[in-house]
Amino acid sequence: MSSRLDVRIVPRAFLVLPGLAVVAWIAYKGSQDAQIFWIVTLNGLTLAALFFVVAAGFTLIFGLMRVVNMAHGSLYLLAGYIAFTLQGSWYGVSGNLLSGTPATVTSWVVPMIIAIIVIGAAGVLMQQVFLRWNQGQDLRQALITIAISVILADQMVAHFGGIAESIQQPATWPDSVSLLGVRYGFFRLVVVVGAALAIGAVLFLVIKRTRFGMIIRAGVDDRSMVSALGVNIQLVFAGAFFIGALLAGLAGVLGGTMIAVQPGNDSAFLLDSLIVVIIGGMGSLGGAAIGSIALGLVNSYADVYLKFGGTDLTNYAILLTFVLVVAVLAVRPLGLFGRPA
Amino acid sequence: MSESVLEVKDLNAFYGRAHVLQDVAFTVDERPVAIIGRNGMGKSTLCQVIMGMLTSARGSVRFRGQELMGKPPYRIAREGLGFVPQGRRLFPSLSTDEHLQIIPRRGNGGWTPKRVYETFPRLAARKSTGAAQLSGGEQQMLAIGRALLTNPKLLIMDEPSEGLAPNIVESVIDTISTLAGQGVGLLVVEQNLGVATALAERQLVMVAGRIAAETTAKELIGNIDAQRRFLGVEPLAPRRSS
């Protein structure tokens, strides 16, 4: 018993000092230029909002069905490509500054809606065709979804090419807004953060207040018991997979407008989702929010502040992400809000 | 002999290479039935197989003429089988009231959350309490109430007395007996001979994955040898905390 306690206490104590050092370093660098610090912080928070939309879907699917959907990033990227293609072929929108047609609200919203519905349906199809008959077989499901993601990645390169594209935001929306003395991108700050907050609130209410949400919570606790009470859990699984995939799709369109649509986004955002839910705890919505903020801020601070005098270590920023994971897992092996399965 | 409601035939189940149910066969009619036997004899497995929660089983389970084997649990529940599992298996993330809200309304047995609260007034006082915060007795009442909302024609109860204080066990026995008197069939699995004999006259003895004998409560209570032989426990011993 006591030896077990020791194991836990040692890393905790060791983590305090580096943690304080990191905070002190960021505070020191930040105090040198408050404006840059504020912009870097906003970069981190807006990135966190995008992470949250992707990871909320990922954690919902995992929490209920114990399916680690390794194709979640592929759904994200495919949605971006669908919206991008529709914007071009239906509305003639292009990013070309000289000859392009600027986007309108309609030519941004309609492709987005179609993309997320298609991706939601694709998620359900994937679950029904490939995953349903492997329920409870974690490894098989992981391998199947990895296979799907590899196939989709190649197909997307074949059809959409390897060049980074971007979905055009409506030209009628402002480019930037003022916030506490800095000008910051309107789409990132208002649309993406707004979408993340709205999704967080809606998911929270659905899970807390509706019968569907209660069944999801019960299913996360003990799904075979839910079924033994006469609830068609398969229908609930399909519904949850639809919502989860739909959120990946929505994030894909938001990310494709905010950053870019390009090969590699699929694995990058899958990795980000995994990190977010490992930090936050698998299956927890609040955990996904905290995990997203932690990951967004670490990414963004590390990109700028990982410079010590003349030594520029910003290339190693990605490593800090994993330091974050290690630190969280050392203290809480199931993530911040994780519960044993 | 009235016609059988539940008919189990040639039931075999495996955990890996362990043959946990071996050609189990029995019938249940309107009268309550208890299945008794020591730990690890396959009693809980039997309940899970009947409810469709364990898919690696073979054989036949017919309920009112309908074959249940191969059906998913929710269909079996909708056929009229209510399940109160071992350890109660409440949902820690849900409040008392939410447990009752998730059950789909169907059939016409007339059970509503309101009637559950009237049957178990203690639950009515703890509607918004999380299931994990309920006392053992309250948890058992909630598990029973939750199963009743599916309007079962047959209630399958796995170790309903497990982990409860003796006076609570008494009240659980009273409740279950009342329900059985209202026309709900009862198949109860118990290690506690006192509870099993109080709930059902027909007693099936399960040993090493088989129904080894059928006897009656009367016979068992009077026959210390049989109790020792079938259960390997001290005769009608007070419940041991396990």
The ipTM (two decimal places) reads: 0.89
B105 vs A5, which has greater pLDDT? B105
- C-beta atoms of B104 and A220 within 8 A: no
B106 vs A37, which has greater pLDDT? A37
Would you say B227 and B202 are in contact if contact means Cβ atoms under 8 Å apart? no
A22 within some domain: no
Facing residue for B74 by CB, picked from A220, A222, A232: A232
| Closest among B13, B119, B99, B120 to B56, alpha carbons compared | B13
- C-beta atoms of A228 and B51 within 8 A: yes
pLDDT mean across residues, chain B: 89
Which residues of B fall within a CB distance of 8 Å from A226? 91, 102
Instruction: Please give the sequence-ordered ranges of beta strands (E in DSSP) within chain A, or none if there are none.
Output: 176-179, 182-185, 307-308, 311-312
- C-beta atoms of A229 and B77 within 8 A: yes
Task: State the total domains in chain A.
Answer: 1
Chains A and B form CB pairs within 8 A to the count of 69
pLDDT in tens, A160-181: 998 999 999 998 999 899 888 8
A238 touching B (Cβ < 8 Å): no
Residues sharing a CB contact under 8 Å with residue A305, sequence separation 6 or more, in sequence order: A25, A26, A29, A30, A40
Min Cα distance B235 → chain A (Å) is 34
pLDDT over 90 percentage in chain B: 65
Nearest-5° Cα angle at A51, A46 to A154: 125
Percentages (nearest 5) of helix, strand, coil residues in chain B: 35, 25, 40
A317 within some domain: yes
pLDDT in tens, B141-167: 999 999 999 999 999 999 999 889 998
Question: Ramachandran region of residue B157, left (φ > 0), alpha (ψ -120 to 50) or beta?
Answer: beta
- What residue numbers bound the domain in which B152 lies? 6-231
Question: Which among B76, B91, B96 is the top mutation candidate for probing chain A, defined by the most A β-carbons within 10 Å of its own β-carbon?
Answer: B91
Min Cα distance A118 → chain B (Å) is 29
A228 touching B (Cβ < 8 Å): yes
A236 touching B (Cβ < 8 Å): no
- C-beta atoms of A221 and B103 within 8 A: no
Min Cα distance B187 → chain A (Å) is 16
- DSSP per-residue letters across A158-210: HHH-SS-B-PPPPTTS-SEEEETTEEEEHIIIIIIHHHHHHHHHHHHHHHHHS
Of the pLDDT bands very low, low, confident and very high (cuts 50, 70, 90), residue B94 is very high
Give residue A271's pLDDT. Answer: 93
B211 within some domain: yes
Min Cα distance A12 → chain B (Å) is 29
Which residues of A fall within a CB distance of 8 Å from B150? 229-230
Give residue B222's pLDDT. Answer: 81
pLDDT in tens, B172-197: 999 999 988 888 899 999 988 899 99
Instruction: Please give the sequence-ordered ranges of beta strands (E in DSSP) within A48-100, or none if there are none.
Output: none
Give residue A138's pLDDT. Answer: 86
A13 within some domain: no
Would you say B139 and B131 are in contact if contact means Cβ atoms under 8 Å apart? yes
B239 within some domain: no
Range B80-94 average pLDDT? 94
Distance CA A276, CA A270 (A): 10
Give residue A305's pLDDT. Answer: 87
Facing residue for B73 by CB, picked from A217, A220, A227: A227
Give residue B100's pLDDT. Answer: 96
Task: State the total domains in chain B.
Answer: 1
Give residue A8's pLDDT. Answer: 54
Q: Which residue shows structure tokens 């989860």?
A: A244
End-to-end CA distance of chain A: 23
* For B147, nearest residue in chain A (alpha carbons): A229
A203 within some domain: yes
Distance CA B31, CA B166 (A): 25
Which residues of A fall within a CB distance of 8 Å from B77? 227-230
A251 within some domain: yes
- Alpha carbon of A115 to those of A48, A59, A172, A198, A230: distances in Å? 22, 21, 22, 19, 34
pLDDT in tens, chain A (341 residues): 444 444 555 566 677 788 888 888 888 888 888 888 999 999 999 999 999 999 999 998 888 788 889 999 999 999 999 999 999 888 888 776 666 788 888 999 999 999 999 999 999 999 999 998 887 788 999 999 999 999 999 999 999 998 999 999 998 999 899 888 889 999 999 999 999 999 999 999 998 999 999 998 898 888 899 999 999 988 998 999 999 999 999 999 999 999 999 999 999 999 999 999 999 988 888 999 999 999 999 999 998 888 887 888 888 888 888 888 988 888 888 888 877 65
Give residue A98's pLDDT. Answer: 67
- C-beta atoms of B102 and A218 within 8 A: yes
B1 within some domain: no
- DSSP per-residue letters across B2-25: PPPSEEEEEEEEEETTEEEEEEEE
Which residues of B fall within a CB distance of 8 Å from A218? 91, 93-94, 98-99, 102
- C-beta atoms of B76 and A218 within 8 A: no
Distance CA B241, CA B230 (A): 20
In this structure, what CATH number is given to the domain that contains residue B124? 3.40.50.300
Range B29-56 average pLDDT? 91
- What residue numbers bound the domain in which A293 lies? 33-331
Neighbours of B55 (CB within 10 A): 14
A18 within some domain: no
- C-beta atoms of B94 and A227 within 8 A: no
Give residue B107's pLDDT. Answer: 60
Would you say A267 and A73 are in contact if contact means Cβ atoms under 8 Å apart? yes
In this structure, what CATH number is given to the domain that contains residue A301? 1.10.3470
B56 vs A113, which has greater pLDDT? A113
- pLDDT above 50 (res B126): yes
Give residue A341's pLDDT. Answer: 57
